[in-house]
């Protein structure tokens, strides 16, 4: 603030001279702001988003200037987003589902600022949305689990019964069934995104019931650590969590926003930015699988081939026939599930031994 | 369920109850002295961060636990100065303490996110620990669990079997009367607050050193608030804090096991069980003491300034 007012007063005194002297002023740079729901040090969702901010700053150091706000509670996010918009940002990434309405409200007040909202579905002329097809990674995990499980039972720690989580469970199951149709998936709902203690208890419960591989749709590394302690295996979430469990992590579904963030920023810089929705997957590099570790070479080769096939479109996780738990056909043979069906998924595929509350 | 699984479940129930027992007992002593400290969550999360940082730097779990206690005491001292020394509003100060603690812990722990260390060692007595079911439960826990149970007995003995404990309870009921008897009301309250902070810090250190041995911001996930509620649930009695913590921890762990077993009920229904059990227990308790009136310390939450 002080620097700007000093600059302003200087400019008013020596305006003409200054304009001639200064070659590139700070205002020429595009200011890009990021709003995170968690701490950047969470080694998970917000951490991955901050990696993309750093990648952007490194890719165009002379064209952009980045700022971030971390730990922004969803209920209080409007103030934070407006603060960024007011401070001269040209592009603002709001990275949590709960920021949707606040982002739209602020966007209305600042029509010249461009907004990018992650995982939401409401857009405006200056608000784009983007998300990743995490379920593609879960399909690969399902295949690996089916190959490696000796007990034939896999544990799945789930957070909340929303379509993103349910479609993840289904994709995991379909991947597993493509290898071993009899694989059992035991699901424990912990009803939280982040509670290391509870996640560890859920992991213990699943391992005690004969699961020898754990998958999770919660954010802490506690289940991985529990698997490591008991000599079992697990999949990481959001970020590469190998450091927590070098003997247990098979792979991790990593969110990679770098390419998207840089491309959108470039579009703003050259004036080609328009409001649109992006739902990228493995093909777009938005979903990346961490190095395949702790598995034999043939399983690793299968996993790598699956990733390649999903990228090329040869394999579709929700390719028909897909049968619902109650026996009805959801996707006919030869067809694939349309995006709206995946985005609104509130049913299990056949073979899952759990009840979904309606 | 096989005996092994039963033993494992029983041991995890006790492990899940331990942070609630330790933090709850600390808050109980503070509230018995008449000070309501809503900052348990903040002190706990600071204890977790500082405890983990100290344990990583020193390589010793004991040093980590002591550092966690220290962090809790330091925050409690700030709260004590405000509420006991300056007679500031206890509710507002306590809430501020929670927010401060969550922020400070993120700062103190920032460099330690993503590090891991071995969990606190578990007791292993040859012969005894190997006994079926009771072995791992009674002789195979880590130091924090035994500390928590010893603390419960110690607090109970202190409050009802010592003169100082009697004075403390009297202060919580009527600070003016105890003051006129020449007893040090504000010093006792301050010490009780510090004890509460020490316990909350230790409970936090248990989380990051033994329960899930790593540090992550906000890893207490609301356990401080549950500890606070437990004190009310326990009608300010240490034994009931232990019982309530085991009940709540047990219901939480058991519903996860019930889901893993696949008993055919949606997980969301089972998740409500701990809370339903708590409400049921509260109803039963209040029915049992219909004629008794409130069991809360009479001067709970009220500040005291001696007239000079």
The separation between CA A239 and the C-alpha centre of its own chain, rounded to angstroms, equals 9
Cα A118 to Cα A93, A243, B257, B296, B304: the distances in Å are: 8, 27, 34, 48, 51
Partner B contacted by A220 (CB < 8 A) = yes
- The residue among B267 and A166 whose pLDDT is bigger is A166
From A189, which residue of chain B is nearest by alpha-carbon distance?
B267
Q: Which pLDDT band holds residue A182 (cuts at 50, 70, 90)?
A: very high
Which range, A18-27, A128-137, B249-258, is most confident? A128-137
pLDDT band at B1 (very low <50, low <70, confident <90, very high): low
Give chain A positions within 8 Å (CB) of B271. 189-191
Residues 247-306 (A) with a CB less than 8 A from some CB of B = none
Q: What is the pLDDT of residue B115?
A: 83
Q: What is the pLDDT confidence band of residue B138, given thresholds at 50, 70 and 90?
A: confident
Check if B10 contacts A (Cβ < 8 Å): no
Model confidence at A12: pLDDT above 80: no
Question: Which ipTM value was assigned to this complex?
Answer: 0.83
Distance from CA of B242 to the nearest CA of A (A): 19
Measured between CA atoms, how close is A210 to chain B, in angstroms? 9
The whole-number average pLDDT for the span B203-232 is 91
Is the pLDDT at A13 greater than 60, yes or no? Answer: no
Q: What is the CATH number of domain B3-288?
A: 1.10.3470
- Residue bearing tokens 């493995």: A282
Is the Cβ of B3 closer than 8 Å to some Cβ of chain A? no
Query: Between chain A and chain B, how many beta carbons pairs sit less than 8 Å apart?
Result: 120
Do the two domains A27-132 and A134-255+287-343 of this chain adopt the same fold?
yes
Rounded to the nearest angstrom, the minimum Cα separation between A155 and chain B is 8
- Asked if B18 reaches chain A (Cβ–Cβ under 8 Å), the answer is no
What is the model's pLDDT at position A17?
37
The pLDDT of residue A7 is 40
What integer pLDDT is reported at residue B221 of this predicted model? 87
Residue of B nearest to A211 (CA): B260
Q: How many C-beta neighbours within 10 Å does residue A73 have?
A: 10
pLDDT at A250 over 90: yes
Structure confidence at residue B201 as a pLDDT band (50, 70, 90): very high
Range in A25-29, A138-142, A162-166, A285-289 the model is least confident about? A25-29
Left, alpha or beta for A103 (phi > 0: left; psi -120 to 50: alpha)?
Answer: alpha
* Inter-chain touch B268–A189, beta carbons under 8 Å: yes
CB contacts under 8 A, A 324-353 vs B, are 353
Residue-wise pLDDT tens digits, A281-320:
999 999 999 999 999 999 999 999 999 999 999 999 999 8
Q: What is the mean pLDDT of chain B?
A: 89
Residues of B in contact with A205 (CB under 8 A): 253, 256-257, 259-260
- Model confidence at B257, in pLDDT bands (50, 70, 90)? confident
Residue B269 at interface with chain A, using a CB cutoff of 8 Å = yes
- pLDDT over threshold 90, residue B216: no
> A219: nearest CA in chain B?
B216
Per-residue b or e along A172-189, where b marks 16 or more CB atoms closer than 10 Å to that residue's CB? bbbbbbbbeeebbbbbbb
Do residues A120 and A143 make contact, with C-beta atoms less than 8 angstroms apart?
no
Q: What is the predicted pLDDT for the residue at A10?
A: 37
Of 3.30.450.70, 3.40.50.2300, 3.40.50.970, 3.30.479.30, the CATH number of A134-255+287-343 is 3.40.50.2300
Contact status of A243 with chain B (Cβ, < 8 Å): yes
Distance CA A58, CA A66 (A): 10
Q: What is the pLDDT of residue B295?
A: 75
> Over the stretch A183-195, which tens digit does the pLDDT of each residue have?
999 999 998 888 8
Percent with pLDDT over 70 in chain B? 97
A164 touches chain B (CB under 8 A): no
pLDDT at A118: 92
Any A CB within 8 A of B273 CB: no
User: Cα–Cα distance between B123 and B139 in angstroms, integer?
Assistant: 6
Angle at B196 between CA B194 and CA B198, to 5 degrees: 70
pLDDT exceeds cutoff 80 at B126: no
The answer to whether B122 faces chain A, any CB pair under 8 Å, is no
Is B256 within 8 Å of A190 when comparing Cβ atoms? Answer: yes
B221 with A71: Cβ contact below 8 A: no
- The most confident of the ranges A9-18, A35-44, A300-309, B225-234 is A300-309
Question: Which of A142-146, A236-240, A312-316, B37-41 comes out lowest in average pLDDT?
Answer: A236-240
Length of chain B equals: 308
Instruction: Select the residue of B19, B253, B259 nearest A189 (Cβ to Cβ).
Output: B259
- Of A14-28, A81-95, A137-151, B50-64, the poorest mean pLDDT is in A14-28
Nearest residue, CB atoms, A43 vs list B19, B113, B222: B113
Spell out the domain ranges in chain B: 3-288
Rounded average pLDDT over B3-25: 89
B110 contacts on A by Cβ (under 8 Å): 41
Q: In 3-state terms, what secondary structure has residue A149?
A: coil
Would the pLDDT of A20 be above 70? no
Calculate mean pLDDT across residues A116-141.
Answer: 93
State the Cα–Cα distance between residues A162 and A165, nearest whole angstrom: 6
Higher pLDDT, B289 or A35: A35
The whole-angstrom separation of Cα B9 and Cα A329 is: 40
What is the band of A23 on the pLDDT scale with cuts at 50, 70, 90? Answer: very low
Distances (CA, A) of B133 to B3, B150, B203: 6, 22, 26
Query: Are residues A208 and B9, on separate chains, in Cβ contact within 8 Å?
Result: yes
The superfamily CATH assigns to domain A27-132 is: Response regulator (3.40.50.2300)
Q: Does the pLDDT of residue A71 top 90, yes or no?
A: no
């Amino acid at each position: 603030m002080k620097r700007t007012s000093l600059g302003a007063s200087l400019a008013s005194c020596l305006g003409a001279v200054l304009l001639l002297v200064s070659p590139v002023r700070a205002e020429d740079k595009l200011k890009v702001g990021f709003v995170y729901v968690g701490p950047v040090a969470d080694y998970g969702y917000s951490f991955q988003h901050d990696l993309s901010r750093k990648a952007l700053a490194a890719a165009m150091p002379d064209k952009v200037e980045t700022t971030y706000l971390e730990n922004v509670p969803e209920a209080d996010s409007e103030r934070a987003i407006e603060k960024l918009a007011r401070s001269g940002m040209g592009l603002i990434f709001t990275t949590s589902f709960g920021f949707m309405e606040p982002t739209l409200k602020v966007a209305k007040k600042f029509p010249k600022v461009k907004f990018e909202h992650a995982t939401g579905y409401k857009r405006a002329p200056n608000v784009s949305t983007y998300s990743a097809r995490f379920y593609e990674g879960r399909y690969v995990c399902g295949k690996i689990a089916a190959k490696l499980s000796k007990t034939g039972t896999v544990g799945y720690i789930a957070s909340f019964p929303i379509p993103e989580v349910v479609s993840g469970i289904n994709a995991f199951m379909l991947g597993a069934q493509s290898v071993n149709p009899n694989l059992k998936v035991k699901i424990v709902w912990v009803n939280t995104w982040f509670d290391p203690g509870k996640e560890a208890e859920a992991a213990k419960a699943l391992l005690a019931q004969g699961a020898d591989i754990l998958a999770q749709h919660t954010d802490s590394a506690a289940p991985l650590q529990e698997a490591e302690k008991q000599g079992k295996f697990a999949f990481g979430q959001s970020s590469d969590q190998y450091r927590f469990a070098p003997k247990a992590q098979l792979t991790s579904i990593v969110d990679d926003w770098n390419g998207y963030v840089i491309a959108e920023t470039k579009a703003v810089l050259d004036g080609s930015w328009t409001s649109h929705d992006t739902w990228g997957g493995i093909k777009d590099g938005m979903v990346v699988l961490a190095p395949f570790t702790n598995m034999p070479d043939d399983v690793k080769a299968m996993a790598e081939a699956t990733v390649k096939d999903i990228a090329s479109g040869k394999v579709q996780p929700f390719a028909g026939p897909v049968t619902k738990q109650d026996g009805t056909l959801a996707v006919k043979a030869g067809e694939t599930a349309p995006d709206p069906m995946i985005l609104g998924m509130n049913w299990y595929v056949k073979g899952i031994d759990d009840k979904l509350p309606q | 369920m096989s005996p092994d699984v039963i033993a494992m479940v029983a041991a995890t129930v006790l492990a899940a109850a331990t942070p609630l027992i330790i933090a709850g007992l600390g808050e109980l002593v503070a509230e018995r002295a008449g000070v309501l400290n809503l900052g348990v969550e903040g002190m706990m999360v600071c204890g977790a961060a500082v405890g983990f940082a100290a344990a990583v730097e020193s390589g010793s779990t004991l040093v980590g636990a002591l550092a966690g206690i220290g962090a809790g005491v330091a925050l409690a001292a700030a709260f004590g100065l405000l509420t006991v020394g300056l007679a500031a509003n206890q509710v507002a100060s306590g809430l501020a303490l929670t927010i401060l603690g969550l922020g400070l812990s993120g700062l103190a722990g920032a460099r330690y996110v993503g590090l891991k260390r071995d969990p606190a060692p578990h007791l292993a007595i040859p012969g005894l620990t190997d006994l079926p079911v009771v072995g791992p439960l009674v002789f195979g826990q880590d130091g924090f669990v035994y500390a928590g149970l010893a603390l419960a007995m110690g607090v109970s003995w202190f409050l009802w079997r010592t003169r100082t404990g009697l004075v403390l309870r009297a202060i919580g009921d009527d600070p003016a009367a105890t003051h006129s008897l020449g007893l040090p009301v504000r010093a006792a309250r301050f010490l009780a607050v510090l004890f509460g902070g020490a316990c909350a810090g230790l409970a936090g250190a248990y989380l990051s050193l033994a329960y899930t041995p790593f540090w992550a911001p906000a890893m207490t996930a609301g356990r401080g608030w549950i500890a606070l509620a437990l004190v009310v649930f326990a009608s300010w009695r240490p034994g009931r804090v232990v019982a309530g913590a085991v009940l709540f921890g047990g219901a939480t762990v058991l519903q996860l096991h019930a889901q893993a077993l696949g008993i055919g009920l949606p997980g969301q229904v089972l998740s409500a069980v701990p809370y339903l059990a708590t409400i049921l227990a509260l109803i039963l308790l209040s029915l049992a003491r219909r004629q008794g009136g409130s069991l809360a310390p009479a001067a709970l939450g009220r500040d005291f300034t001696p007239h000079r």
